[in-house]
Amino acid sequence: SMQCVPGLVLALSSLLGALALLQLSLHLRVPSRYGKHEERLCRPRGRLPARCAWFLQELPSFLVPALLLALRSPPRLEPLGCRLLCCLFCWHYFYRTFIYPFFTRGRPFPLQLLFFGMLFCIYNGFLQGYYLIYCAEYPNDWCTDIRFTSGLLLFLLGMGINIHSDLLLRQLRKPGEVTYKIPQGGLFTYVSGANYFGEIVEWFGFAIATWSLPAFAFAFFTLCCIGPRAYHHHRYYLKTFTDYPKSRKALIPFVF
Ligand code: NDX
């Protein structure tokens, strides 16, 4: 049966950190080519409806850790912290896999990016799940540790912002519409990338709660991946809408 190999966790986390830097260097100037940053819209080949695409892409991030958790023998019962943290991760991806895609009104998603996105989700789902289920060791009172409680609070806050902002974006369109409008309400009052801000807060909260290298590597990846994307969205809005709110920032309220 599977065992903890600390060297594997270190290697996979380092590679995730390196992927984050690669992502940053590739997409600081040029955004990832999906959604509003895709130019050739009238080429339906090589594209999947947004619903299928997001479902397929995010599914491994739910399935892999959930299976690792369910199939571990003997089941890991102690400490509570590990199971709880693994469930938090699965909870987010349950939302992203089974709820978000069924409501999205997004444009068809490029197959090529879907492929890499799926690979990424398998990789990260395995790393986070494997670490929490086979490697992590917490004292029995971890649930009352300030890192666990403050991290959990940030995670929940970020998730709330992320889900609320996803909802506000969806409501900008009627079914079948693919046009872009100025997002209003919630944290969009302050930033163009409110959904991204929520997601980043969420994964840094998760990293603090788990106090682990893999989770910090993933939070860093998230920052490098959707941080620049928030900036590109912001520029797109400024370019497209002359009446775009002047005081709105790109990602961090009142700051940037
Ligand atoms: N999926 C994370 N890199 C990514 C897919 C692409 O979950 O090879 C990262 C994720 C992947 C990427 C993923 C990782 C890196 C990859 C990349 C592809 C290449 C790249 C693999 C896995 C790669 C290397 C080489 C380094 C390995 O029509 P539309 O779609 O634009 O409609 C949008 C709509 N909308 C509006 N509607 C009306 N008016 C407006 N003004 C609108 N603005 C937007 O709202 C969508 O339907 C919806 C949301 O759009 P948008 O653009 O704001 O968010 P989106 O980027 O689609 O993300 C959706 C959610 C969001 O909550 C976000 O926080 C979360 O997913 N997310 C997204 C990306 C990554 C991630 C989380 C994470 O890292 N944690």
Q: Enumerate the domain spans of the chain.
A: 6-37+45-240
Instruction: Tell whether ligand 1 has an atom less than 6 A from the beta carbon of residue 222.
Output: yes
pLDDT digit string, tens, across residues 107-116: 999 999 999 9
Instruction: Tell whether ligand 1 has an atom less than 6 A from the beta carbon of residue 33.
Output: no
pLDDT at 41: 58
Which atom, in ligand 1's list, is nearest to the CA of 221? 74
Instruction: Tell whether ligand 1 has an atom less than 6 A from the beta carbon of residue 54.
Output: no
User: Which residue minimizes the CA distance to atom 40 of ligand 1?
Assistant: 180
pLDDT at 116: 97
Instruction: Tell whether ligand 1 has an atom less than 6 A from the beta carbon of residue 226.
Output: yes
Mutation probe of ligand 1 site: the residue of 102, 112, 169, 224 with most atoms within 8 A of C-beta = 169
190 phi, psi to nearest 5 deg = -110, -30
Q: How far is CA 193 from CA 115, 167, 215, in A?
A: 25, 13, 22
Bridge partners of 47, per DSSP, are 110
Which stretches in the chain have pLDDT values below 50?
none
> How far is the centre of ligand 1, averaged over its atoms, from the C-alpha of 130 (Å)?
25
> How far is the centre of ligand 1, averaged over its atoms, from the C-alpha of 39 (Å)?
16
Instruction: Tell whether ligand 1 has an atom less than 6 A from the beta carbon of residue 23.
Output: yes
pLDDT digit string, tens, across residues 139-171: 888 989 999 999 999 999 999 999 999 999 999
Tokens of 160: 């709330």
Q: What interhelical angle do 146-170 and 80-94 show, nearest 10?
A: 10
